[in-house]
Chain A
């Protein structure tokens, strides 16, 4: 199997783990607990999720093992570190999600910080100033002030956005909803919606800045961004089907929103891999 295919597959599996965990923890710990308590899901579904997660771990682990053996890069062992990062991030997410009753997706923040920090430490250029191919696998170059600032600002915007998204999209920020009369609680609702939209546009603006860094980055990420949009729409449609099929009443608008971001991120990473792992003529 070609190296780029293996690498793509392993990352896809890694991301599926993250998606699965987000969903898993979201349903177990999140606000959907009440829904689950009222359901008789049967032993099949109870087994399906942990088995699915186990499968993802095994496949992702195998992909990383194969990559380490494949010699795609001379710095052997780097895949092990990358794998450790991936799994470390996931473990962090579990701990964080267990900790935070409502912070189902906030684990993205420590995960992003972990990846960004280690990206800079582990994949830094050699003494001659030559970057490894693997350095380009993770989006963004922390040694470039322009890119570093974009990433830091994105991280800063992400914190309130995730929090506000959970409040707004699950409609649980206040005991009232719009149209219940002009009370203080309603003003808070409006403030949360405005905050959500402002941070959303801020994030999109940072994406635009990254996209416009130069012609190569534009070429690499243009397709995936469009594809991400299409996939997000398909995902929203499939999500409703999945809700009906598995009787998972707990799938919220918030989860759908989060999955849109995650899928887009995944596609961008796969694009970066394709750009990096392609063999030079």
Chain B
């Protein structure tokens, strides 16, 4: 699954560590999410979307549906 996390994070001027702190997860998690190695759980996906005031589908993009 692709996501806009790196772009959104940079637009807010956050480091991966800072974003991790905002989300209450580890920096490793943010790194894995950004690299597309890990798909978040639904609660975490909602948390991320809410943090950026966006819908989940605006942050995460399921390639198969394209």
What is A's interface to B at a CB cutoff of 8 Å? 125, 128-131, 133, 135-136, 141, 143-144, 146-147, 213-217, 219, 275-276, 278, 280-281
Contact = CB atoms under 8 A, between A and B. Distances in A.
A144 B41 CA distance: 22
B37 interface: yes
A217 B26 contact: yes
B26 A280 contact: no
A214 B26 contact: yes
Given A129-B17, A216-B25, 17 more contacts: A128-B15, A129-B15, A129-B16, A131-B16, A131-B31, A136-B28, A141-B17, A141-B27, A144-B26, A146-B26, A147-B26, A214-B24, A215-B40, A216-B26, A216-B28, A216-B29, A281-B63
A200 to B, nearest CB: 26
Interface of B: 10, 14-18, 20, 24-29, 31-33, 35-38, 40-41, 44, 63
A149 B65 CA distance: 43
Contacts of B36: 280-281
Contacts, number: 69
Chain A contact residues, majority secondary structure? loop
A141 B28 contact: yes
A223 to B, nearest CB: 15
A275 B15 CA distance: 21
Contacts of A135: 31
A138 to B, nearest CB: 11
Nearest to B33: A216
Contacts of A144: 17, 20, 26-27
